[in-house]
Copies of this chain bind each other. A is one copy, B any other.
């Protein structure tokens, strides 16, 4: 009633279980249709449509028409970061929406966080890049790619200039809910995950945020980012 940002609005958007499930599904990074999201949330298409309209009005998701499909996705990196931070808190309270199953270890090992790699592997990658002085911690918030780091990612086949052109930050941190430490987000984080998948080192699990590394891919990854 007095001052400061209105967190109630955002909280209430996330606070509905159906919407929370949809948002969590969108954390997988792929744009999904209302029908798919309705399935994720266990509700009918009509209800999902109404929820999506609210999420869009709140600025959490955006929509892209393509033929007779509509693809919904998180509207910005920001949204993913905020959700991950909420998940971190929920996890620290032991609030999970599932009984820990066989998929859980896979999720903790490597998963998609909106558009970049998270979990043990994600954290290890950032730690390793920092240890090798390929990424520098520039300030309290900022990460910067060093010259060595730039040479390294270009050797891997990533077009650094293209990354830099976009308005989005190239490197940024994202707090990992399972590891409780940061991993690498930003356009570089996105490009790296894409690289691993393009190289055939890793594949996304269907219907899950888990990322499954092949034996060869895992070996290459661990060599590339030693502890």
Contacts and interface: CB of A to CB of B under 8 A. Distances in A.
Interface in A99-123: 101, 103-104, 107
A227 to B, nearest CB: 14
A145 to B, nearest CB: 14
Contacts of A143: 140
Contact of A82 (B2, B85, B98): B85
Given A11-B14, A12-B16, A86-B11, A96 B137 contact: no
A97 interface: yes
B6 A16 contact: no
B89 A82 contact: yes
Interface stretch (A17-25, A47-55, A154-162, A192-200): A17-25
Interface of A: 1-17, 19-21, 23-24, 27, 40-42, 58-59, 78-79, 82-83, 85-93, 95-98, 101, 103-104, 107, 126-127, 130, 137-141, 143, 173, 175, 177, 181-182, 207-209
Given A10-B89, A11-B15, 20 more contacts: A3-B97, A3-B103, A3-B209, A4-B27, A4-B209, A5-B86, A5-B95, A6-B90, A7-B14, A8-B21, A10-B93, A10-B95, A12-B12, A15-B15, A59-B93, A82-B86, A137-B137, A139-B182, A140-B181, A141-B175
26 contacts: A1-B41, A1-B42, A1-B98, A2-B40, A2-B207, A3-B97, A4-B27, A4-B97, A5-B90, A5-B96, A7-B14, A7-B23, A8-B15, A8-B16, A8-B19, A9-B90, A10-B90, A12-B12, A58-B93, A79-B89, A85-B85, A137-B137, A137-B140, A139-B182, A140-B182, A141-B175
